[in-house]
Amino acid sequence: EKLESVTGAPVTLFDGLPAFVEQEDLPAIAVWLTDAQYTGLMTDEDDWQATLHTAVFLRAQAPDTELDIWMEEKIFPALEEVSGLERLIDTMTPLGYDYQRDSEMATWGMAEITYRITYTN
Cα 12 to chain centroid, rounded: 13
List the CATH number of the domain containing 32.
3.30.70.1700
User: Rounded to two decimals, what is the model's pTM?
Assistant: 0.86
State the amino acid at position 118 in one-letter form.
Answer: T
How many domains does the chain contain in total?
A: 1
Could you give the C-alpha distances from 62 to 3, 15, 30, 98, in angstroms and in order? 20, 23, 17, 15
Domain, as residue range, for 52 = 2-120
Q: Which residues does residue 38 pair with via DSSP β-bridges, in sequence order?
A: 48
pLDDT at residue 10 in the model? 85
Q: Tell how far CA 71 is from the center of its chain.
A: 10
Give residue 50's pLDDT band: very low, low, confident or very high (50, 70, 90). Answer: very high
pLDDT, residue 65, reads 96
